[in-house]
Every structure is written in C-alpha cells, then in structure tokens.
C-alpha cells in the first residue's frame, strides 16, 4: 500500500511538472506520459515477480550480475555510452535508454543474499565475507564512479555494508571496511571540482548562493515557501526553471512547496512504513536467503530515499540520486517496483518462522 501511495504521489508531481514544462516550451505532458507508461510496465513486472518463487531466481542471479557488469564496462567504450548531467551512465536502445548502474543495485541484493548465505559457516573470517561478494561490489562501485556517478556508488556501497552487517560480520572488520569506503569516497570527491563545490555548498549553503550553492539554495526556498500546508497542487513557482533538476533529483523540494511540511512528512512516513513492513516480514521469514533478500530490497528503497531527502533538505551533501517511486526516471522506477515484487515473492513463498 505504501508503495502504491508513493507511486501515485510521484505521478501527481509529474503532472504538475508537465504543466511547467509545457509553459516554457517543452513537450506537452512529457513527464506524466513517460512516467505513467513506465509505472504501468513496472507494476506488471512487480506482479510477475511476486508470483514467481524467488528461489527459482537463484540460478539466474549471477548471470544477471555478470550481464550488468558487462554493461557497465560497455559504457566506457567510446561511442556506446551516452552522457547526461555529467555522467556517462546510459546505453541508447532506440527510443529508450538503459542505465546499468540502476539495475546493478538490484543485482547486488540478489547475489549478495545468496553469497552471504553460502558463507554462513565462516562468520568470523574477513576473507569469507570479502570474497567474492565484497570484491564484486567494490568492482561495481569502481565502474560506476568512473561513469561520474558517485551517488549511485554510495548507494551500492551502503547496500553492501548493510548486508554484511546483517550477516553478522565482526564489528571491527565492518568498521574497517566502512572507514575505507569513506576515505575512498572523500578521495573521489576531492578529485573533482564539481563534487568539491557540492561538498562546500553543503558545509555553507550561503557561501555562494548564485554559484555552487544555487541548487540547494533554491531547494530550501521551495521548502520554505510551502510552509505547513503548501501553496497547493500544481501551484509551485520553483518548478518554472528556478530549481535545477526539479523533476528528478529535487522533486522532494517541489512536493514540499506544493503540499507543505505535512505533505513532505507524510512521504517520509510512507517510506518508514515500507521499511517497517520489510523488517517485520524479514523477522518472520524462516529462509535466510529470503530474509537477506527482503532486507536488501528494503534497504535499497529506504537508503536511497534517505540520501535523496537528506540532500534536498541540506542535511546531507547532494548526490544526484532519485527519490524512489517519485522522481522522474524510467530505469529507477522499474528497479524500485521490481524490488517490491521480490519482497512480495518472499512473503508469498517463504515459510514463516514458528511463532
């Protein structure tokens, strides 16, 4: 139910943004039409996955991961990948575009659930955790960073750390890996002027409101205009090209402007309800693989939501990751709906633990 409500909220925001796009000369109803079609396809995939026993997917999970990694490599071959927003993350497929890094998140969850279960007899060994699961995830993160998409790499790294923690990794080993990941992320940030400007705008949003801090400043203006109850559906001013990437990364700011603090808080509550449902379902699941699968899919959705909302509100640096179910983005929406389908599949087919 929370997933459907978030999807409806996303489609309503796409309708609002479509009016803004049309008003400034864009294609009429572009966002709502494309997001609506993608949502329909995603719901079909959700239903299909929910009715397929998740255990039947184990034999395909590694092949799926290898295909995604191959696609990530293809992006670095001149003439194949397409750049957008500073990231070479898309492979053109006729009128559509395939973004391997989005599907890599789902592949990490699918493969991680199985590999960590296979290493269950070596809980205290760092090597058993890091090979092959940790090495695979590090390789994926490296390929994604080379695309210029640090935000997605952070989400994948967070998923990896979350799954390792759930599996029972030694606390010192986990802290060592987490610290190494943080140092690597900082090094990647320092190597790019654009990423450095984003970090500095997070530290002091008022330092350069017309330059590096412009996007965050306009986001905070949108949220401030919303007040408690918002300016009303479709009445946002910031969506008229004042706020960059209003339909993708910054959609939460427009939602807050139109529906106010109460509407923005309701979205957070829906994500919290989804996380709670995943936690309860995972606790009842007797199959360890199913348990890790639910936890991984739940973490994917809630971690990405937290990173996006944190960036939009200034609580975290901006990373450019979309808000699940709400931001415009066909690949992202498909992946999130497929993740919900996998959660429902485990709930349908996994045996419950004795009460």
Digits of tens for pLDDT over the chain (355 positions)?
Answer: 789 999 999 999 998 888 777 665 667 788 889 999 999 999 999 999 999 998 888 888 889 999 999 999 988 887 777 776 666 777 888 778 889 999 999 999 999 888 877 765 555 556 666 667 778 888 899 899 888 888 899 999 999 888 888 877 777 877 888 888 888 888 888 877 777 777 777 777 766 666 667 888 888 899 999 889 999 898 888 888 788 888 888 999 999 999 999 999 999 999 999 999 999 998 888 888 899 999 999 999 999 999 999 999 988 888 889 999 999 989 999 999 999 999 999 988 876 555 4
Q: Does 68 map to a domain?
A: yes
Q: Does 115 fall in a domain?
A: yes
For residue 69, being part of any structural domain is answered with yes
Asked if residue 96 belongs to a domain, the reply is yes
pLDDT of residue 64: 92
**Is 297 inside any structural domain?**
no
In 3D space, the residue among 261, 257, 347, 253 whose CA is nearest the CA of residue 297 turns out to be 347
Cα gap 89→73, rounded to integer Å: 11
24 within a domain of the structure (yes/no): no
Sheet holding 82-84, edge to edge: 82-84, 87-93, 96-98
Question: Is residue 262 a part of any domain in this protein?
Answer: no
Domain total in the chain: 1
Q: Which residue range is the domain that position 147 belongs to? A: 60-191
Tell me, yes or no, whether 258 lies in a domain: no
HSE of 238 in the Cβ direction (CA atoms, 13 Å)?
Answer: 29
């Amino acid at each position: 139910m929370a997933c459907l409500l978030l999807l409806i909220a996303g489609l309503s925001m796409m309708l609002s943004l479509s009016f803004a796009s049309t008003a400034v000369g864009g294609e009429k109803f572009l966002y709502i039409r494309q997001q609506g079609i993608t949502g329909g396809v995603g719901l079909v995939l959700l239903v299909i996955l929910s009715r397929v026993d998740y255990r039947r997917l184990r034999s395909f999970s590694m092949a799926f991961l290898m295909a995604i990694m191959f696609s990530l490599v293809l992006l670095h071959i001149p003439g194949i990948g397409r750049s957008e927003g500073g990231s070479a993350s898309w492979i053109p497929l006729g009128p559509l575009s395939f973004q391997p890094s989005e599907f890599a998140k789902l592949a990490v969850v699918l493969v991680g659930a199985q590999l960590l279960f296979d290493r269950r007899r070596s809980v205290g060994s760092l090597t058993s955790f890091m090979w092959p699961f940790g090495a695979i995830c590090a390789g994926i993160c490296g390929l994604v960073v080379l695309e210029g998409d640090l935000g997605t790499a952070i989400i994948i790294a967070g998923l990896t750390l979350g799954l390792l923690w759930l599996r029972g990794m030694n606390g010192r080993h986990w802290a060592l890996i987490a610290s190494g990941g943080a140092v690597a992320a900082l090094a990647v940030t320092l190597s790019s002027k654009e990423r450095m400007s984003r970090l500095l705008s997070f530290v002091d949003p008022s330092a350069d409101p017309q330059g590096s801090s412009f996007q965050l400043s306009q986001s905070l203006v949108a949220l401030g205009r919303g007040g408690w109850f918002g300016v009303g559906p479709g009445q946002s001013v910031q969506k008229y090209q004042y706020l960059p990437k209003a339909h993708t990364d910054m959609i939460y700011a427009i939602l807050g402007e139109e529906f106010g603090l109460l509407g923005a808080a309701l979205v957070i509550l829906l994500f919290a309800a989804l996380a709670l449902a995943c936690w309860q379902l995972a606790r009842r699941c007797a199959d360890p693989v199913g348990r890790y699968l639910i936890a991984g899919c739940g973490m994917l959705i809630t971690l990405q939501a937290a990173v996006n909302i944190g960036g939009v509100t200034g609580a975290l640096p901006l990373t450019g990751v979309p808000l699940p179910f709400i931001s415009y983005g066909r690949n992202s929406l498909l992946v999130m709906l497929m993740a919900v389908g996998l959660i429902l599949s485990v709930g349908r087919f996994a045996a419950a633990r004795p009460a």
